[in-house]
Amino acid sequence: MLTSPRLLAAAAALTGTLVLGTASPALAQGHHHGGIPFTAATATQQADGSFALTWTAPGVHHVTVYAGQDRDRIAQRKPVARAAGSTTVTVTLPAADRWYFELVPDHGDPLTIADRDLHLASAPNFRDAGGYRTTDGRWVRMGEVYRSGDLSKLSAADLAKLQRLGIAQVYDLRTPAEQQAAPDKLPAGATEHSENVLGVAGTGAFDVTTPAAAVQAMEDAERTMVAAPSAKSAYQAVLDSLAARGDGGTVLYHCTAGKDRTGWASAVLLTALGVPRDTVMSDYLASNTYRAQVNAATLAQLPAAYQPVYKPLLEVRPEYLNAGFDEVAKDFGGFDAYLHDGLGLTHQDLRELKEQLLAD
């Protein structure tokens, strides 16, 4: 029987190689009363290139919307929309690397949002890790932290876009074998850090034969991402970088599919920032949407008898993430203890993390 890290590594490698067509089927926070009145807000680019902006702001009568390509320099000269305190509007703008939208309420502080998806055809699960509201009314800033899967297929145009977006630090959470099989392509000027979450050199063989065994393997692997010393070290490195980066540019963390090791990284980060569990779960499960076409193509390469066995490996499910949180409770007694005792983060580290990433 394989160890859990090797099971997950084998599953990750299988996903990557099947997409390439080369694998055989036999194989809790203190309260802070911020001034942002928005309780929900999203920006979603539509198929025709326009943006659907949706927000909820109880007690607000009017919201004025401004747009800009630099999150920190959105000129409040010409609004792109005006609407009521809770509504959806459609905005059409010229093509750009990324548009940010500043929602300015008639009272309270403004909020800047963007489409979470970067729409990279060569990396379908590449998205912003921010844009979520915390339990105390603050918001995780967008354009600061990104998450992704495999970067080995990035096109020259995508790499240029990522360079213009300022990605400076890249944390590769994969095993050495995965890195060698699919080396990262990095935007110019970015620094890469290898943080092997699973702590194994290779991917081993995949030996589960039933859907139930595959689900169990994924749950066990999620627990490993909490308990393994290599995982603690890797996730500590990511959070330390985010807390201490200052003006050091944006951070990206990734694995092969961008859903398991990367999914736990985002769950840890968002929970540490005070994002509620149901929002953390929604962000985690979004990988199923971003990877839907890839997963369907992967399954289509397999004989019908194999598809139910491999499907749990390609997906994320609530029970997977819950297994990680259950392991936190079992090993540490609570999430704060996990951050302090498991990942070695001090109270000062967490304060700096929030100062860096939260808008209020």
Nearest C-alpha neighbor of 252 from the set 123, 338, 59: 123
Whether 308 shows a pLDDT value over 90: the answer reads yes
pLDDT of residue 110 exceeding 60, the answer is yes
Torsion 144-146-152-153 (CA) sign: negative
- Contact residues for 94 (Cβ-Cβ < 8 A; gap 6+): none
Q: What CATH architecture applies to the domain 37-108?
A: Sandwich (2.60)
Cα dist. 251→73, 96, 167, 233, 245 in Å?
Answer: 20, 21, 6, 17, 9
Alpha helices in 32-141 (DSSP H): none
Query: Residue 347, Cβ neighbours under 10 Å: how many?
Result: 10
Angle, vertex CA 63, rays to CA 60 and CA 65, nearest 5: 160
Quick one: pLDDT at residue 31? 36
Reported as a single tens digit per residue, the pLDDT across 273-295 is 999 999 999 999 999 999 999 99
Residue type, 159: L
Q: Sorting pLDDT into bands at 50, 70 and 90, what band is 207?
A: confident
pLDDT score at 3: 47
What distance in Å separates the CA atoms of residue 264 and residue 286, rounded to the nearest whole number? 13
In this prediction, residue 162 carries a pLDDT of: 94
> Does the pLDDT of residue 24 top 50, yes or no?
no
In tens, the pLDDT along 229-269 reads 999 999 999 999 999 876 668 999 999 999 999 999 999 99
pLDDT of residue 28: 35
| pTM for the whole structure | 0.91
Which distant-in-sequence residues (6+ apart) come within 8 Å of 250 by Cβ?
143, 144, 145, 146, 165, 166, 167, 168, 169
Q: Which residues contact 52 (CB under 8 A, 6 or more apart)?
A: 43, 44, 46, 88, 89, 90
Residue 140 reports pLDDT greater than 80: yes
Q: Is 4-34+117-359's fold the same as 37-108's?
A: no
Superfamily of chain region 4-34+117-359: Protein tyrosine phosphatase superfamily (3.90.190.10)
What confidence score (pLDDT) does residue 229 get? Answer: 97
Q: Which of 79, 117, 80 is nearest to 98 (CA)?
A: 117
Catalytic residue among 159, 218, 243, 255: 255
% residues pLDDT > 70 (the chain)? 89
- Sequence ranges of the domains in the chain: 4-34+117-359, 37-108
The verdict on whether 252 is a catalytic residue reads no
